[in-house]
């Protein structure tokens, strides 16, 4: 035990002898909230050989006291530790997850650190780890569902684009539609992914009968590895291509329980105790997309998932007419459908027009052609491969998500290429440039994606020449404008010709525009409407489209956590004043759960004003510092050019430590550090108008 710990221990035994505080600084933080700071509880070296490794976390009771608790590593956390082969610091490319775009399929897998395990997987199963999130707060009591009523709970996918998850409850059965993830936002720095909050389902997991997956994009399947164990690992119902994407992603979490996946086809009908579910095909940018019809005696609840219409110049195809004929004979109670592109007027660009233009570019380009698109645009990727085969090109597929989806296309029987069509990147120089087509990731300017590495001249095998052409078959996701512009600048500096969606129609979204949505509403003809899959403003716009067919009082715009019930034999729809838990569930390194607000706030402060650390060594016998404090600063000011500021900060820190510790026996280090923090932070703000995080470290001798 060092001197500081000894004096803390002594001080806790003699609280009555504590001297008068300096009123200028007030009480220390832990005294203000009535809590007691616990001593550090480490692990002796000898413990390592006598028992499995144990890590401690702190649980906090309502009074703010803290004591260490240990927790066994869950299978999910073990899998995250064992997940090998990827750099945890490599940020996943966002893909097209914004309005007017298509969420990527399988682009970003859970990042993990490569870890060596000397005793193998069995030994890892006994490991424990620190949890970086607090205890889940008590859920507000929600009234039980009355017999005959239908309850719809929005766990994610509204108020944002991503982490789609909705629960439909009838009698003693709950059917879940989708389980996606969302990429981090500005208010969640350092976080890997954001998940739906499943606390409501965890409280009612005995009712959960199944999970329906509408299609295989990450904002609809990405949460499965993290959430299934929490909700009882129910059976999953989906189509073939989506199931292959789910299985491939699940391979990255080898210690999780196996998934119970049931394949369904369009027009199939299954029974989940009190609920029947039918399926229908929808058009989207990925194969095997489908909508779900949850059947109840009061009527049908229709969840379309993401969708668009196949059309030619606004004339909807016969295939689409045939699909939606099924609703003529149905009593549709509620429609929940995609709002992502509802702000765009008219019909979206026809995908057939996009295919025709891409084929023309591939046919007429004289030199090497590099095509970049979203890996989630699987249908388009398949067409590009077919066009390359048609015109005698050799294809280099570069980018992990591209390679993954090509392999899944083969496994699903959707693509059977000739043996020599796809060649490895290292053989690209073995063929004439006009016979090469490279299909790569990185249309959004992602730092480590293939196209950005080509633009930055760091790609191992591909070097641009003025005869090369770049086809960027993707729109710009809002927020990625600067990265995309920098990407195009770096490509053009090397003389490459760039063709993008503003020059010709080589990209179309996988989401329906306003007139397509109006057509869908007319075909389905629901009694009630709830817009989903988008931000609040998008829902407002979508509601205006729906009002042409549905009375305004029959439309509710949802928020995450909102609970909507259909009552009185399907005649009324109401939103409950109670809500399901809606706080963010974050994947942050090895932690999955809540992160305390102070952690995110500190990360934001660090990113804005940096950190200022003061290290002082105090002679406890004299109450004086042994020497002038040391200062460590990162992201605040350049210390070599701020010597006056540094000198004054040291002087202030020294003066404050000595004044606050004078006559104090034992020394209350927390009180002294709080005083130093306040004084130095105030001084730095006066001098620089910046608020770095100030951390004093006081050593005692």
Q: What three-state secondary structure class fits 147?
A: coil
CA distances for 692 relative to 123, 684, 696, 698, angstroms: 43, 8, 12, 19
Cβ-based neighbour number of residue 255 at 10 Å: 18
What's the rounded Cα separation, in Å, for the pair 548 and 541? 12
What's the rounded Cα separation, in Å, for the pair 424 and 408? 18
- For the chain, how many residues are written? 701
* E strand intervals along 242-341: 261-263, 269-272, 275-281, 290-296, 299-303, 311-312, 315-316, 332-338
What's the rounded Cα separation, in Å, for the pair 181 and 161? 10
User: Per the residue annotation, which of 338, 515, 668, 674 is the catalytic one?
Assistant: 338
Asked if 191 and 202 count as a contact pair (C-beta separation under 8 A), the reply is no
What are the residues whose beta carbons fall under 8 Å from the beta carbon of 118, sequence distance 6 or more?
none
Asked if 640 and 621 count as a contact pair (C-beta separation under 8 A), the reply is no
What are the residues whose beta carbons fall under 8 Å from the beta carbon of 239, sequence distance 6 or more?
263, 264, 265, 266, 288, 290
> Is 511 part of the annotated catalytic residue set?
yes
DSSP state of 157: S
Range 300-337 burial, b when 16+ CB lie within 10 A, else e = bbbbbbbbbbebeeeebeeebeebbeebeebebbbbbb
What's the rounded Cα separation, in Å, for the pair 450 and 259? 32
What's the rounded Cα separation, in Å, for the pair 489 and 452? 11
Q: What three-state secondary structure class fits 53?
A: coil
Supply angle C-alpha 589, 604, 560, rounded to 5.
70
User: Per the residue annotation, which of 215, 217, 507, 511 is the catalytic one?
Assistant: 511
> Is 356 part of the annotated catalytic residue set?
no
What are the residues whose beta carbons fall under 8 Å from the beta carbon of 254, sequence distance 6 or more?
79, 82, 83, 121
Q: Could you list the active site residues?
A: 338, 511
């Amino acid at each position: 035990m060092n001197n500081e710990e000894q004096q803390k221990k002594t001080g806790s035994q003699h609280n009555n002898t504590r001297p008068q505080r300096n009123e200028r600084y007030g009480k220390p933080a832990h005294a203000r909230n009535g809590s007691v700071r616990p001593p550090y509880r480490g692990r002796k070296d000898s413990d390592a050989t006598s028992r499995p490794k144990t890590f401690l976390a702190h649980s906090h009771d309502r009074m703010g006291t803290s004591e260490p608790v240990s927790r066994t590593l869950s299978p999910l956390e073990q899998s995250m530790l064992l997940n090998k082969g990827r750099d945890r610091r490599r940020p996943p490319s966002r893909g097209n997850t914004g309005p007017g775009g298509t969420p990527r399929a399988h682009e970003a897998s859970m990042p993990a650190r490569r870890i060596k395990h000397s005793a193998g997987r069995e030994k890892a199963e006994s490991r424990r780890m620190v949890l970086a999130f607090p205890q889940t707060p008590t859920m507000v009591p929600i009234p039980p569902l009355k017999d005959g009523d239908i309850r719809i709970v929005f766990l994610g996918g509204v108020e944002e684009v991503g982490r789609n998850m909705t629960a439909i409850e009838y009698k003693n059965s709950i059917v879940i539609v989708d389980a996606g993830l969302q990429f981090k936002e500005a208010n969640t720095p350092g976080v890997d992914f954001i998940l739906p909050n499943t606390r409501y389902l965890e409280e009612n997991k005995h009712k959960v009968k199944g999970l329906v997956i509408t299609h295989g994009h990450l904002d609809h399947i990405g949460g499965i590895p993290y959430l299934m164990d929490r909700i009882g690992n129910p059976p999953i119902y989906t189509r073939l291509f989506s199931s292959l994407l789910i299985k491939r992603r699940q391979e990255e979490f080898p210690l999780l329980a196996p998934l119970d996946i049931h394949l369904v086809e369009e027009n199939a009908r299954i029974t989940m105790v009190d609920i029947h579910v039918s399926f229908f095909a929808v058009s989207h940018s990925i194969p095997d997309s489908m909508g779900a019809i949850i059947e109840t005696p009061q009527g049908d609840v229709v969840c379309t998932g993401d969708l668009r219409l196949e059309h030619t110049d606004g004339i909807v195809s016969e295939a689409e007419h045939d699909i939606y004929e099924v609703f003529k004979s149905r009593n549709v109670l509620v429609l929940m459908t995609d709002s992502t592109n509802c702000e765009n007027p008219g019909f979206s660009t026809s995908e057939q027009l996009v295919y025709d233009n891409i084929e023309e570019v591939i046919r007429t380009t004289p030199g090497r052609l590099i095509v970049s698109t979203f890996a989630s645009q699987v249908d388009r990727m398949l067409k590009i491969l077919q066009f390359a085969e048609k015109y005698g090109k050799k294809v280099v597929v570069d980018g992990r998500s591209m390679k993954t989806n090509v392999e899944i296309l083969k496994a699903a029987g959707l693509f059977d290429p000739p043996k020599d069509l796809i060649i490895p990147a290292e053989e690209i120089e073995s063929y004439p440039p006009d016979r090469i087509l490279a299909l790569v990731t990185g249309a959004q300017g992602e730092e480590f994606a293939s196209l950005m590495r080509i633009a930055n001249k760091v790609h191992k095998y591909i070097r641009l020449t003025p005869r090369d052409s770049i086809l960027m078959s993707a729109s710009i996701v809002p927020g990625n404008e600067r990265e995309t512009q920098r990407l195009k600048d770096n490509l053009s500096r090397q003389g490459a010709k760039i063709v993008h969606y503003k020059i010709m129609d080589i990209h179309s979204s996988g989401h329906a525009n306003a007139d397509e949505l109006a057509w869908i509403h007319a075909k389905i003809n629901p009694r009630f409407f709830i817009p989903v899959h988008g931000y609040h403003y998008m829902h407002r716009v979508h509601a205006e489209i729906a009002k042409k067919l549905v009375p305004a009082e029959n439309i509710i715009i949802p928020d995450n956590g909102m609970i909507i019930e259909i009552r009185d034999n399907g005649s009324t729809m109401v939103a409950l004043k109670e809500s399901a838990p809606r706080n963010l569930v974050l994947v942050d390194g090895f932690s999955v759960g809540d992160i305390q607000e102070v952690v995110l706030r500190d990360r934001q402060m660090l990113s804005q004003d940096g950190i200022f650390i003061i290290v002082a060594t105090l002679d406890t016998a004299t109450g004086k510092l042994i020497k002038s404090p040391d200062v460590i600063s990162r992201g605040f000011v350049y210390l070599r050019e701020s010597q006056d500021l540094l000198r004054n900060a040291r002087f202030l820190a020294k003066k404050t430590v000595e004044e606050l510790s004078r006559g104090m026996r034992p020394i209350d280090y927390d009180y002294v550090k709080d005083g130093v923090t306040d004084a130095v932070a105030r001084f730095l703000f006066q001098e620089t108008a910046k608020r770095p995080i100030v951390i004093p470290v006081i050593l005692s001798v």
